[in-house]
Structure 1
Amino acid sequence: MRFTGVFAPLVSPLAADGRLKLGDVKKQMNYVRPWVHGFAPAIGCGEGWLLKFDDWRALLDCVVAEALGMPVIAGCNAQSWDELSARVSYAATSGATAVMVALPTGLGEECSHEEVLRRFSGLRRTVEATMLFYWEQFISGRSLTAGQCAEICDVLNAVAVKDSMHSPAATRELRDLRERVVILQGWEDLLGIELPVDGYIGPLALLSGLPRRCFDQSAGWDGVGEEAKAFGLLGSDYVVLVKSELRRRGVLSGHVSHTVLR
């Protein structure tokens, strides 16, 4: 399939003792289902790298089971290369539509780009799955150029990129370098300007049907950035704001954890 449209980056509802609340995962999916094209659990908004493997696996299994035929992009953020490999290997056999691969959390500049390519090339050789690449720096601590992102897409044979770099120039350069790669924008305030974008994966999709309406009506993305700003989603505490709003609406219950990202 071609990964276009609006995907919901599901938050991970945790109890005060850290337990994953799968009932709230199901409620969240049913809440957003009318206005999204698919689900993307355990990526940045879902704090996937903070979940223990068993919780991450339970979350993914729940989302796949409750998707009712809608596409599921399995987020595989991890804290090490070995953990990333384990998550990608499991996700590839989980029934998810595709796997979203990311650099390990906190990788920074500790290894060369050549080593990154070698690691991803080895992962690609051992796993049969449709892959997307998560282009970001706020989790990994590593800033990739468009050229480096394009090279990673080549070794992964990635069909799409979730673009969270917040750089219009970099987005345009990536499209020039790899026209075949679908670009899913992650920043709402960049959806209203003239950028090459095929879809959207971002927190506003959890709170509003506006992105879906804009996409379906081919009317541009007018108003999306303004609505995200009104919810406070352009700041570093957007995860807790989304969770708090979903709790206020009765979609989530109890404890709301806080992660600073953007």
Structure 2
Amino acid sequence: MPGDRLTDEDRRHIAAGLAEGLGFAEIGRRLGRPASTVMREVTRNGGPDDYAAQRAQEATRQRARRHRQAKSPAPPVGDSSHGRDPQAVRNLTESFATLLEQQGMPRMTARVLACLYVTDSGTLTAAELVQRLRVSPASISQTVSFLEQQGLIRRERAPGGRRERYVIDDGLWVRSTLAAMHMNDALVAASQHAAETLVAETPAGARFGAAAEFLLLVNAALRQVMEQWQQNQADRDAGRQS
């Protein structure tokens, strides 16, 4: 396909076409590729008089390898406070970010969230995130904007200070769970409507009805968990004050 990368076989066809004296347009037509693709491939690999399929294939592999190495993220900076082992903190941050990523979170979002979560203060500036994760300021800016929109972090600015700090707190999972409950409520309403529209006794209607019933049970359980959590928090606060 025109949008796919050239294969070893494609490169052999290009070399054969050049040996026949064919132009880029004709070679591209035979391959089903744009002439510009053939021209770039030949130009970057020795030109029409010195193009070799095997050498071009190996050069492409080397370029791809260098690109992957350049893009590989550096490990985050470890926190050595409280006598911690910086490498152990780095490993923890990476494994926690990987876990979040496996749950469906975008990679950069997971890395920023994990980096904030392992700090004692729960707060870092954009510059500190750039230093710890060794990524561009633009990547941090886009990611923290997304996290803020999701209610997972908030921005703070110290009185008289110019730098904003990004803050994560103990309410992260509470807010995340509340957001999930709101989404479940919307899905319940949509599923109930679908069941009525499709007729509950039909296979499709029954499918939506079962989904609504399940999600109602999930939210009921989550509400009990939230109530228990709030009670536990109140008991802890009372214990600190006594």
User: TM-score if structure 1 supplies the norm length?
Assistant: 0.26
**Larger-Rg structure:** 2
TM-score with structure 2 setting the length? 0.27
**Structure that is richer in helix per residue:** 2
